[in-house]
């Protein structure tokens, strides 16, 4: 069984207020339960909401994969309870920051005085950091694998495909599309059960945001269809998109393709 829970669905910055209640305001964090295995994609402001799930995991270990390390995808890490548990083991994986000295160096620079009062290296949990190259396939266990590809985003980004017992999800966020579909993304997403895709913009607003490293829900639908994905989760919502705006996008997306839906903070899907 694979259970996917969206603890953060926004991009760029968290948002709050009465206009952001139904779809949520936390930035990117998706938790995947593969029976006893716990895999987390990104540690945005939503990751502390995953505390109860992580702390109840009997293995007391998890794998955290970063799509990239812009602040909206790492800001929640020091507020995630497992990093303060001495008996917890966390493996952090990143594939886009070797040019900047590697993931451990980046996290040590970010979470240390004066930016944060406790040094990352002093977090009590047993944390190990690993860098890999885009295109690498990672074996978590005999029946759980992670495949990767490079994404088109400032400072680089990584897309993931998690496969567990013949079921798979594809996590593609913070990537800018071109007129021709990205063959690497299509290959990674081929026949997946769930395709999670960066849909910050619409085709109408996209031209004014070229170079920002994001995509549209319409491109997500096009890619999902071409890849023969079963479902599309529209994800990484622009912080200016209110609940009413997101509701409109969901109606348009469902009319375009019945397999599309808008990810809401706190929502879960069992595959």
The pLDDT mean for the chain works out to 97
Domains of the chain listed by start with CATH number: 2-270 (3.60.15.10)
Residue with tokens 């990767």: 148
119 pLDDT higher than 90? yes
| Other Cβ atoms within 10 Å of 202 Cβ, number | 17
pLDDT at 256: 95
98 pLDDT higher than 90? yes
Residue with tokens 């594809």: 170
- Whole-angstrom Cα distance, residue 44 to residue 6? 11
Measured at the CA of 155, the angle between CA 153 and CA 161, to 5 degrees, comes to: 55
pLDDT tens digit string along 151-208?
Answer: 999 999 999 999 999 999 999 999 999 998 889 999 999 999 999 999 999 999 999 9
pLDDT at 36: 87
pLDDT at 181: 86
Q: How far is Cα of residue 201 from the mean position of the Cα atoms in its chain? A: 17
User: pLDDT class for 136, splitting at 50, 70, 90?
Assistant: very high
pLDDT tens digit string along 42-86?
Answer: 999 999 999 999 999 999 999 999 999 999 999 999 999 999 999
pLDDT at 1: 86
pLDDT tens digit string along 200-233?
Answer: 999 999 999 999 999 999 999 999 999 999 999 9
Q: What letter would DSSP give residue 249?
A: H
Q: What is the largest CA-CA distance in the chain?
A: 50
pLDDT tens digit string along 32-46?
Answer: 999 989 999 999 999
pLDDT tens digit string along 15-29?
Answer: 999 999 999 999 999
């Amino acid at each position: 069984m694979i259970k996917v829970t969206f603890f953060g669905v926004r991009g760029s910055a968290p948002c709050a207020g009465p206009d952001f209640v139904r779809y949520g305001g936390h930035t990117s964090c998706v938790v995947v339960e593969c029976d006893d295995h716990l895999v987390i994609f990104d540690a945005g402001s939503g990751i502390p909401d995953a505390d109860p799930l992580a702390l109840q995991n009997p293995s007391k270990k998890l794998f955290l994969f970063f799509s990239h390390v812009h602040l909206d995808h790492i800001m929640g890490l020091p507020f995630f309870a497992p990093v303060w548990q001495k008996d917890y083991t966390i493996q952090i994986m990143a594939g886009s920051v070797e040019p900047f000295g590697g993931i451990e160096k980046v996290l040590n620079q970010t979470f240390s005085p004066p930016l944060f009062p406790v040094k990352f290296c002093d977090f009590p949990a047993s944390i190990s950091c690993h860098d890999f190259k885009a295109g690498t396939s990672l074996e978590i266990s005999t029946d759980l694998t992670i495949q990767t590809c490079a994404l088109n985003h400032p400072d680089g980004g990584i897309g993931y495909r998690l496969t567990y017992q013949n079921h798979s999800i594809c996590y593609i966020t913070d990537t800018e599309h071109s007129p021709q579909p990205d063959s690497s993304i299509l290959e990674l997403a081929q026949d997946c059960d769930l395709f999670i895709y960066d849909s910050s913009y619409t085709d109408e607003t996209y031209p004014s945001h070229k170079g920002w490293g994001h995509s549209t829900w319409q491109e997500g639908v096009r890619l999902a269809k071409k890849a023969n994905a079963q479902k599309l989760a529209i994800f990484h919502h622009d912080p200016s998109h209110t609940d009413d705006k997101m509701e409109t996008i969901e109606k348009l997306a469902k009319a375009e393709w019945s397999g599309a839906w808008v990810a809401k903070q706190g929502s879960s899907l069992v595959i």
